[in-house]
Amino acid sequence: MIDTERLILRQWRDSDLPSYRDLNADHNVMRYFPSLLTGEQSDAQAEIIRQLIEQRGWGFWAVEVKQTQEFIGFVGLHQQAADSGIPNAPLVEIGWRLAEKFWGNGYAPEAARAALDYAFNQLELEQVYSFTALQNHPSQQVMKKLGMVNIDEDFDHPKLPSGHRLQRHCLYRITRDQWIQG
């Protein structure tokens, strides 16, 4: 479990699943993903995330607001394998997905800073990456707030078909030195 000023990053609970289903069925939240997720797909994804955290001790943590104990989405770290098709893999990425009603409160950068602190100080990583569809300017803004830099290695996401509107992705990175100096 990781505490920030306003948030808790923690292992997933069964009670998170209904809100996670709603989040993944929200057109605004999912507009930079290929499709909405069904309830079954959301539950399966949450279970995979939960198992990865169980195995590694880290991952895409569930995020809750301390004051209200509300689940608001996830923020955290994920290992991309060498054969993932992502440039520079194997790598650890940072990512987030929050329910729309919690946007604009600075929760994504706050939780992501805690995840980066964990990456560099607990896991002792040398660098962390993030990627998103070129059109996803809100996520790119969060990346910039974190001190991440676009490394000009745009790529076609390997899980999206050729010509898909979200196929082209940008790749951001922050190194341990940049984090320390930040």
For the stretch 9-22, pLDDT in tens is 999 999 999 999 99
Give residue 7's pLDDT.
99
pLDDT digits (tens, 9 = 90+) for 57-82: 999 999 999 999 999 999 999 999 99
CA angle 67, 15, 56 (to 5 degrees): 90
Q: Which residues contact 58 (CB under 8 A, 6 or more apart)?
A: 76, 77, 118, 122, 123
pLDDT tens readout for residues 124-171: 999 999 999 999 999 999 999 999 999 999 999 999 999 999 999 999
Domain range enclosing 118: 2-181
The pLDDT score that the predictor gives to residue 62 is: 99
Residues making up the chain, counted from first to last:
182
| HSE-CB for 1 with a 13 A CA cutoff | 7
CA atoms of 151 and 120, how far apart (whole Å): 19
Query: Does residue 97 register a pLDDT over 90?
Result: yes
Q: What is the CATH number of the domain that holds 29?
A: 3.40.630.30
Domains of the chain: total: 1
Q: What is the pLDDT of residue 182?
A: 81
Q: What is the pLDDT of residue 44?
A: 98
Tokens 């289903």 correspond to 21
pLDDT of 118: 98
pLDDT at 49 over 90: yes
Who contacts 106 (Cβ-Cβ below 8 Å, separation ≥6)?
A: none
